[in-house]
Every structure is written in structure tokens, then in C-alpha cells.
């Protein structure tokens, strides 16, 4: 049951539908020299980023600040989620050089905080967990002062995959729930994957990790579904949360049902903090790794 105090502060996301992108969704174009330096370093080390593969709207802002979310295990995903712009199909075998390439790029950037994610690799026996862990260890060995956040897949629900990640000692383990349970069929995910994802976060927390998750809104979710999802995440003791506007990346992707206003995102942040999250970043262009270092630091400041 959702507490009455949360219900009082709620809003009605299903009340209206927006047909076109509003003014507050303006995306910054790249202009600073740092953007082009980051692009060149990534190209030199033959690395993929989720910034490029997922068509992130914050790519100019983040790269100009010399931050990027590294995409490992190739750039082709074995799943076909209806909201994602990442290429889908049959991927090539993973490159054993990726951990070293990522570590060298992080050192070249001089990053204090690095985010690593991957495509989902259901074709691999361990889902790619071992190479993920090797990337964490190699990066930390090359740049000991750098904090590492990982945004991981669900490893087909296998606890061993999560354990392998946590044992490599990342500073944050992030796994996105994406939407309320009722919308999983809309985004082409099996309904049971909702509980699987909650179990990933539960397992990581049980193993001692700082946990984080992300939600996107604008797919037709209802007020009570949002609140229930926040409650579910707190039931598995998720520490940190991001909430952003879903933007249709391709014509084949599921369409946007509604655009939330900046004021509504502020309401969502307040509601989420009331549920007990340690910190929340919410806004129209927020993505999983947006302001990741600041979110992590806010948690450290509470200790």
C-alpha cells in the first residue's frame, strides 16, 4: 500500500497528451573544443559510448565537460527493447582489449568519475559479467583515484553475474527499471523481467553495493503506477534515482504519449525523496548517467 502522504503530493500524468516536443526540450549543439577532443580520444581507442549509440540528448554538454559513458561488449544488443536506439542483432565476440582501451581513455580524459555500461549479451554464458568486472579492475588499477559507476544488464537473472560485478568493487551499481511494471509489454520486455530487475538491485545491495536505478516517463504511465514503482525500488533499498523524459529515438520506436513539464519533474523528485531515496536527479533531459558524479558525491556528503 502506498502511504497517503505520497498520494497527496502526486499529480495526474495521464491528464493530457502532448503531440510535439515542447520548448524546454532544446538540445545543446556541440561547439566547445573539449567535445571534439573527447570524440578524437574515443576514436583513437576504438571505443563505443552509450552517448552515441543511444542518441543521448546530453552528448554535447557531457562531452564538453569531458565525461562520457563507455559502452563495452560491442555495440550490438541481443535484445529488442522498443525504446532504445542501440543497434540490435547478432554481435561479434567481445574484445578482450576493451578493459585496457577503456582504462587508457579514462586516463587520457583525466576523469575523476567514470561510467561504464554495456549492451545486453544473452549470447554469452555469463552475460559478459567477467569482462565487465575486468574492465572495472583494470580501470581502477590504471587510475586509482577514479570512481567507477557501472550500469549493468540483468544477466538473465543469474545471481553469479551480479556477484561478479560487485566483487570487482565498483563505487555504484546502477540497473535501470525503466518503466512501471504495467508498461513492460509496451517496451517489448517480458513482464517477469520487472521482478528480475528488482532482484538485480536487491542482490547488489545484499552484497554491499551502493545501488542506483533509472526511470523514464512519457509512455502512458499512470500516477499510481509511478508511485508503486518508487515503492518497489525502495523495497529493495535502492539508494539513488534518475528520472527523465522518454524521447522517441527512431520512427520504429514506441511513440511518446506525453511530455512532462520541468515543474512536474520537480514534483517527481520531491515525491521520490519522500519515499526515502538518498538523492534524485529528475528533469526532461536526464538520463542514467547524467550528473552521475554529483549524485554520487551527494551520497558521500551524507556519510
Asked if the structure places residue 181 within a domain, the reply is yes
Residues 222, 207: Cα–Cα separation, whole Å: 33
Question: Residue 202's domain is classified under what CATH number?
Answer: 3.20.20.70
pLDDT tops 90 at residue 230: yes
- Count of other CB atoms within 10 angstroms of residue 44: 12
Say which residue, 98 or 14, is predicted with more confidence: 98
Residue 210 confidence (pLDDT): 97
Supply the mean pLDDT for the chain: 85
Any domain includes 172? yes
Number of domains in the chain: 1
Average pLDDT over residues 138-142: 96
Reading phi first (left if > 0) and then psi (alpha if -120 to 50, else beta), residue 220 is in: left
Establish if 135 belongs to a structural domain.
yes
**What is the reported pTM?**
0.87
Count CB atoms within 10 A of the CB of residue 238. 26
Q: In what order do the strands lie in the sheet with 240-245?
A: 48-49, 69-72, 113-118, 147-151, 172-174, 211-217, 240-245, 279-283
Residue 18 placed within a domain: no
Distance CA 136, CA 52 (A): 21
- pLDDT of residue 66 exceeding 90, the answer is no
Give me the mean pLDDT over the 6-31 stretch.
60
Q: What is the pLDDT of residue 207?
A: 97
Q: How confident is the model at residue 24 (pLDDT cuts 50, 70, 90)?
A: confident
pLDDT higher at 37 or 224: 224
Is residue 76 classed exposed, middle or buried when 0-12, 13-18 and 19+ CB atoms within 10 A define those classes? middle
Is the pLDDT at 20 greater than 90? The verdict is no
Answer yes or no: is 8 within a domain. no
Contacts of 18 (CB under 8 A, 6+ apart): 256, 258, 259
Q: Would 6 be classed as within a structural domain?
A: no
Q: Which domain holds residue 254?
A: 27-302
Report the run of H or E that residue 267 belongs to, with start and end. helix 262-275
Q: How confident is the model at residue 41 (pLDDT cuts 50, 70, 90)?
A: low
What local confidence, expressed as pLDDT, does residue 23 receive?
A: 75
Indicate whether 7 pLDDT > 60: no
What is the pLDDT averaged over residues 225-241?
98
Contact 66, 38 (CB under 8 A): yes
Q: Which helix (H) or strand (E) holds 254?
A: none
Task: Tell me the C-alpha distance between 287 and 117, whole Å.
Answer: 13
| Segment 161-214, tens digit of pLDDT | 999 999 999 999 999 999 999 999 999 899 999 999 999 999 999 999 999 999
- Give the number of other CB atoms < 10 A from CB of residue 245: 26
Q: Does 13 reside within a domain?
A: no
Helix, strand, coil % (nearest 5) of the chain? Answer: 40, 15, 45
The pLDDT of residue 4 is: 47
Domain assignment of residue 36, yes or no: yes
Amino acid at each position: 500500500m502506498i502511504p497517503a502522504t505520497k498520494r497527496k503530493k502526486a499529480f495526474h500524468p495521464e491528464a493530457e497528451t502532448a503531440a510535439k516536443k515542447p520548448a524546454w526540450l532544446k538540445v545543446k549543439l556541440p561547439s566547445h573544443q573539449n567535445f571534439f577532443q573527447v570524440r578524437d580520444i574515443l576514436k583513437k581507442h576504438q571505443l563505443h559510448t552509450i552517448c552515441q549509440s543511444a542518441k543521448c540528448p546530453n552528448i554535447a554538454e557531457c562531452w564538453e565537460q569531458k565525461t562520457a559513458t563507455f559502452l563495452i561488449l560491442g555495440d550490438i544488443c541481443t535484445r529488442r527493447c522498443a525504446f532504445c536506439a542501440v543497434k540490435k542483432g547478432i554481435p561479434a565476440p567481445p574484445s578482450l582489449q576493451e578493459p585496457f582501451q577503456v582504462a587508457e581513455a579514462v586516463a587520457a580524459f583525466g576523469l575523476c568519475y567514470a561510467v561504464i555500461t554495456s549492451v545486453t549479451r544473452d549470447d554469452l554464458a555469463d552475460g559478459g559479467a567477467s569482462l565487465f568486472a575486468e574492465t572495472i579492475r583494470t580501470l581502477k588499477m590504471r587510475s586509482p583515484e577514479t570512481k567507477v559507476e557501472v550500469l549493468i544488464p540483468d544477466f538473465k537473472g543469474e545471481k553469479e553475474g551480479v556477484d561478479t560485478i560487485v566483487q570487482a568493487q565498483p563505487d555504484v551499481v546502477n540497473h535501470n527499471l525503466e518503466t512501471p511494471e504495467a508498461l513492460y509489454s509496451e517496451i517489448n520486455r517480458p513482464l517477469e523481467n520487472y521482478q528480475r530487475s528488482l532482484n538485480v538491485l536487491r542482490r547488489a545491495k545484499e552484497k554491499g553495493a551502493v545501488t542506483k536505478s533509472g526511470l523514464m516517463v512519457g509512455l502512458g504511465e499512470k500516477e499510481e503506477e509511478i508511485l508503486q514503482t518508487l515503492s518497489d525500488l525502495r523495497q529493495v533499498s535502492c539508494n539513488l534515482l534518475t528520472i527523465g523524459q522518454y524521447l522517441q529515438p527512431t520512427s520504429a520506436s514506441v511513440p511518446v504519449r506525453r511530455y512532462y513539464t520541468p515543474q512536474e519533474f520537480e514534483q517527481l523528485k520531491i515525491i521520490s525523496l519522500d519515499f526515502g531515496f538518498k538523492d534524485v536527479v529528475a528533469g526532461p533531459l536526464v538520463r542514467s548517467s547524467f550528473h552521475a558524479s554529483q549524485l554520487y558525491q551527494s551520497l558521500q556528503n551524507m556519510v
